[in-house]
Structure 1
Amino acid sequence: MHSPQSLPHRLQQDLLAFPVSARLRTQSAPHLFMLSGLSESTPVLNLHLFLARLAHALAQVDSCGQVVVCGPLSGTLEQYCQQHELTSLQDQLDLRGVLEWGKSQEQAQYLWCCELDALPLPDIVERAMEIFVANPKAGLVVPMEKYSNGTIRAGYASLERDTGLAGAPADHPAYGYRRTVEATSSQLVIIKMIALSQLDISEMSAYHTPQYQLTELIWQLKDQQYEAIYDAAVCYEHDQAFPELTALALDSCYFYKRWHPTFISAPQPTVLVIDATLPMYDEDSGSLRIYTLLKVWVSLGYRITFFPDNLDGQFKYRHALEALGIEVFYGKYSLADAMALRQFDFAFICRMENGHRYIPFVRFLSPQTVIFYDTVDIHYIREQRQAEIENNPKLAASAQATKRKELSNCLLADRVITVTVDDAHHLQEELPHLDYLVIPNIHQQHPLPETGFEQRDGLVFIGNYNHHPNDDAVYYFVEKVLPKVHARLPDVCLYLIGSYMKDKMKALASDTIKVVGWVDEVEPEFAKRRVFVSYLRYGAGMKGKLGQALSLGLPVVSTSIGAEGMGLVGEEMALIADNPDDFADAVCRLYSDSVLWEKLSRQGREYIEQHFGETAVREKLRALLV
């Protein structure tokens, strides 16, 4: 890798000709960058390129900053700062000096302590702000510091464990997730200015090394109920070797003497969670359920490791877990890697195929781990029902094979989790002494819908169309029920929303069938529609699509199979019908009766909040992992 000053002189001059962005010349800006590590021998081009990186990072969030350049600058560097309206200080400030100078700039919201050699990645401002917004207690953000070859130079540390980051691969799951930290040696940190007001900055003069100055800062922030947050998604590159720091031992003794009475060493209980994929919480109810379970467990103090069977590491869904503080093994990092890293107190293994594959594996490698098997739904019941409807002997035989696997999982696990009581009763017909716990789908509480009966029109259905019961529900409704509805309400449209829609379904599009497909936000779509229809003829478990509609105040017409496991009372929380004529009558009645519509909208929403809200499930989770 070539340093900027090794480039041909003409190219250096061309680079210097690019102006410093106006985003970095704002005196009253939310971001204050205190840039140190400069000397009289520092090439101007190094500073120029660093500022270009900062400007690019600020442009990603449409923000601006003030830059203060610190160090014994050469005449050329001083002239450069004057030319580009940058504040310069002819002093090489340590952390104490940076904090004292920064505190005087009352207009800034965030103080960035930067070394010139620490090159920020383009999204560093965006990622840092995401952390401060997500965690109001965050007073300090610690990035991952990595070499340009993809290995870790430094990052977080804790005082008694989790050491040895240097030289490890930067993409290793053990170092990728967000966490509260106790120490760091980072050359770039971001501090919330309001958190500095009550700190004793002068105490940092007792230390000789930047590592322990930062660690002192972290512990003073802790004393003021602020947290230091590490996140590998906030990242910068630094290729300079570590200097010899002979004063570390002296600083260590002083720090331990000062802070040892406040050390807390209680270990976090560990949970290994295995599912088919990363939780795609905006695509299906099963994913939303496991994502919410993970979020609640983290809030209860558990240390979670997540393993997707398909090894997917898609950033959107992986980072959603890592931002909660969950370690995610993916890509080239297998379940064996996760289990070699630490012992797990509990394992939570989801779905039939994963249970069949991994319960014996986990039991063999870690006999002391308590294993929970989460059925998600009872697969063999769904397959049996489909086989009966389709009169399919081959599918009926497959259902029996699935049944053997599913019952085997139940016998091998320490405890079985079902989504509904009905699912548990199906299993108890085969295993009467089964120890189970019901953890249903979990639905977020939403504000009251702004649109009422008169502002809405149309029928709507949503689903993942890779799931056969959803495909069948649409085709049967369109063929057997919708014509009966149109005989009475000829202008009513059916809107089809969801993922993995096949060409055959897209071909249903017409004047009265609108094929919407995938949408980023379901709530606005549901707020336009008057009735949710769910003509599910087979399936098992709790149907998240019904809970989602009800939680948003959208009244539902469903079959008994669709409403199974939710405890819905017909005419009170929803309308339930099981043949095409009755279903069409229910749709038309609900579509035309504003009084009935308002009643079901209100009572359905209240029922979901009471029985399937996050608060209702939290205590079950607390009792589960003990």
Structure 2
Amino acid sequence: MKHLVIIGAVWPEPTSTAAGSRMLQIISLFQKQNYEITFLCSAMPSDFSFDLSIISVKTQAIQLNDSSFDSLIKELNPDVVLFDRFMIEEQYGWRVMENCPNALRILDTEDLHFLRKAREVAFKQNRELVFEDYISDIFKREMASIYRCDLTLLISEYEMQLATETFKIETSLLYYLPFLSEEILTSIPSFEERNHFISIGNFLHEPNWQTVLQLKKHWKFIKKQLPEAELHVYGAYVSEKAKQLHNEKEGFLIKGRAESVVDVYSKAKVLLAPIPYGAGLKGKLFEAMQLGLPSVTTKMGAEGMNGVLDWNGFISSDENDFIEKAVELYNDKSLWETAQKNGYEIIEKRFKNKLYETDFMNRIDELKMDLKSHRNQNFFGQILQHQSLQSTKYMSKWIETKNK
């Protein structure tokens, strides 16, 4: 049986983050091709970590900067190794390369971290992004990780375009793999059976916190036009500063973790997501389309999602437009039902499993069959593996020696 080893930054939490849900989607793709899967992670599991044994995935805790990993990975002898984010590839990539040289190495970016960081810098300085914002230390590290791997998964068409056109990365090193949907939930409450607005997002994720702050600014103007409406703000790991925004009188309610996304989405009438910056795809908007919940968001929120198709609600151009469209979508049944249908169409035409799973696994098989030739064409990757450029390797060895 073929064997995939995933090295995770954290144990997956699909009820807390979109990244956790995506990881389970990737696991499912490989399991359909009869891969045995082992998940390794150095982080401590949380109360909300998914029990991978339920889906027949083996797990094992590992140590940072410890040669015990070398023996373990050699014993596991995987056909494919997937690194969850570039920081994990920095830590363990060189160990995989030395101990399992024939294993296909895949980097799952989740989203391009350097892009999110560049946008954050520009946002917090209240200015437009310029090219120099990209060229950060995170950019250099993430790019190096991409070149060291045999294949890198990008979740957004926009990021594929940025990587290939702006930064000239060969398409042979990249694969576009967005969120995947197996089914659309259509047996849900109607327009008349729903009330209130909703927002959702893990509070540990800085763009989500900034989105809540944007909502706080917008809400008083929406509330003025819809005095009976409330805004229910859900998200895992609520901070104290977020709790201070809770205001019953204003109808701005910090609800905390959603026990069931299906439940809270089916009761709400409109999802609000004034996302000011970020990268990748937005899980909250993807799930909203799957579950028939129209939304109002920003260009940044919708990026990479709808292509040429109509959005499942509105993509606002500014603060006043956001407020106006939120009220309009909340009040207009015909508009709301059209938006819901648009969301279903986006999922069906752009995110269904069948659009990607066969092609993706064929790509994996092709690379495994001709791995030596593929690596020989990756000149930058070869250069970065020279000992003079392996600072993370020697730093790890130094830390391990120091700890002993």
Counterpart pick for 1:553 among 284, 287, 292: 292
The aligned residue for residue 100 of structure 2 is: 366
Q: Equivalences for 1:541-620 in 2 at 5 Å?
A: 541-568=280-307, 571-620=310-359
Q: 1:476 aligns with which of 214, 219, 223?
A: 214
Matched, 1:508 2:245: yes
1:290 aligns to what?
23
Between 536-545 and 337-346, the greater mean CA deviation after superposition: 337-346
Give per-residue Cα distances to partners, 1:522-576, cap 9 Å, x unaligned.
1111111110011111100011110001100000111011011112557543310
Q: 1:465 and 2:203 equivalent?
A: yes
Report the Cα offset of residue 316 of structure 1: 6.9
Distance 1:316 1:545, change over 3 A: closer
Give the counterpart of 1:308 among 27, 41, 50. Answer: 41
- Render the CA deviation track for 1:235-291: whole Å, top value 9, x for unaligned: xxxxxxxxxxxxxxxxxxxxxxxxxxxxxxxxx122111121121112111111111
Please state if 1:445 is matched with 2:183.
Answer: yes
Structure 2 matches for 1:23-38, cutoff 5 A?
A: none
Partner of 2:275: 536
Bigger fraction of residues in helix: 2
Structure 1 residue corresponding to 2:259, chosen from 520, 527, 534: 520
Match of 1:417 in 2: 153
| 1:97 corresponding residue in structure 2 | none
The whole-number CA distance in structure 1 between the counterparts of 2:69 and 2:45 is: 14
SS at match of 1:597: helix
Contact 1:550 1:601 survives alignment (8 Å) = yes
The answer to whether structure 1 residue 486 and structure 2 residue 223 are counterparts is: yes
Q: How many Å apart are 1:614 and its aligned residue?
A: 3.2
In structure 2, do the counterparts of structure 1 residues 463 and 337 end up closer, same or farther at CA, with 3 Å as the change threshold?
A: farther
Between the aligned partners of 1:524 and 1:415, the Cα distance in structure 2 is 37
* Equivalent-residue separation in structure 2 for 1:591 and 1:419 (angstroms): 30
Q: Give, in whole Å, the separation in 2 of the partners of 1:316 and 1:589.
A: 37
CA contact (8 A) 1:501 1:517 kept: yes
What letter corresponds to residue 466 of structure 1 in structure 2?
L
Alignment partner, residue 386 of structure 1: 120
Q: How many residues align?
A: 354
CA positional deviation for 1:315: 8.3
Please point out which of 313, 319, 338 is paired with 2:72.
338
- What CA deviation, in whole Å up to 9, does each residue of 1:85-138 have, x standing for no partner? xxxxxxxxxxxxxxxxxxxxxxxxxxxxxxxxxxxxxxxxxxxxxxxxxxxxxx
Q: Once the 2 structures are TM-superposed, how far is the Cα of residue 397 of structure 1 from its aligned partner?
A: 7.7
Residues 114, 136 of structure 2: 8 Å contact kept = yes
Deviation at 1:483, TM superposition (A): 2.4
Going from structure 1 to structure 2, the CA distance change for 1:449 and 1:568 (only over 3 Å counts) comes to farther
Change (3 A) 1:444 1:516: farther
Deviations 1:116-170 (A, max 9, x none): xxxxxxxxxxxxxxxxxxxxxxxxxxxxxxxxxxxxxxxxxxxxxxxxxxxxxxx
Listed as ranges, the matches of 1:260-279 within 5 Å are 268-279=1-12
The corresponding residue for 2:386 is none
Distance 1:322 1:280 in 2: 14
Deviations 1:266-324 (A, max 9, x none): xx1221111211211121111111112102311211121211241x3568746x32232
In structure 2, the CA distance between the partners of 1:571 and 1:313, relative to structure 1 (3 Å rule), is: closer
Distance (whole Å) between structure 2 residues aligned to residue 550 and residue 592 of structure 1: 19
Q: How does 1:175-324 map to 2 (within 5 A)?
A: 268-310=1-43, 312-313=44-45, 317=49, 320-324=51-55
User: Matched residues in 2 for 1:316 and 1:535: separation?
Assistant: 27
- The answer for unaligned runs of 5 or more in structure 2 is 366-404
Q: Secondary structure at the match of 1:557?
A: strand
Letter in 2 for 1:377: D
Alignment of 1:66-105 (within 5 A): none
Letter in 2 for 1:364: E
SS of structure 1 residue aligned to 2:222: helix
Structure with the greater alpha carbon radius of gyration: 1
TM-score, reference length from structure 1: 0.54
1:457 to partner: Cα distance: 1.3
Instruction: State the secondary structure of the residue aligned to 2:245.
Output: coil
Q: Distance in 2 between matches of 1:452 and 1:567?
A: 23
Residue 309 of structure 1 contacts residue 354 of structure 1 at CA under 8 Å; is this kept in 2?
no
**Secondary structure of the corresponding residue to residue 625 of structure 1:** helix
Q: Are the structure 2 counterparts of residues 537 and 574 from structure 1 closer, same or farther at C-alpha, using a change threshold of 3 Å?
A: same
Partner of 1:326: 57
* SS in structure 1 at match of 2:38: strand
| Counterpart secondary structure, 1:277 | coil
Bigger drift between 585-594 and 299-308 goes to 299-308
Per chain length, whose mean CA-contact separation is higher, i.e. which structure has more relative contact order (CA < 8 Å, sep 6+)?
2
Report the residue type matching 2:231 in the other structure.
L
Instruction: Report SS of the residue matched to 1:533.
Output: strand
State whether residues 458 and 494 of structure 1, in contact with CA within 8 Å, keep that contact through their aligned partners in structure 2. yes
How many Å separate the matches in 1 of 2:86 and 2:211? 24
Once residues 156 and 140 of structure 2 are traced to their aligned partners in structure 1, the CA distance between those partners, rounded to angstroms, is 20
Answer whether contact 2:109 2:154 (CA < 8 A) is retained: yes
> Aligned with 1:474: secondary structure?
helix
Cα deviation, residue 370, structure 1: 1.3
C-alpha contact 1:271 1:346 (8 A) present in aligned 2: yes
Is the alpha carbon distance of 1:381 and 1:398 closer, same or farther for their aligned partners in structure 2, counting shifts above 3 Å? closer
Amino acid at match of 1:408: A
In 1, the alpha carbon distance for the partners of 2:352 and 2:208 equals: 24
Identity within the alignment, %: 23
- Matched-pair contact (CA < 8 Å) for 1:535–1:559: yes
Secondary structure of 2:361's counterpart equals: helix
Give the gaps of 5 or more residues in structure 1. Answer: 1-267
Structure-2 residue corresponding to 1:455: 193
**Paired position in structure 2 for 1:232:** none
CA distance in structure 2 between the aligned counterparts of 1:392 and 1:411, rounded to whole angstroms: 33
Q: Amino acid of the residue matched to residue 410 of structure 1?
A: I
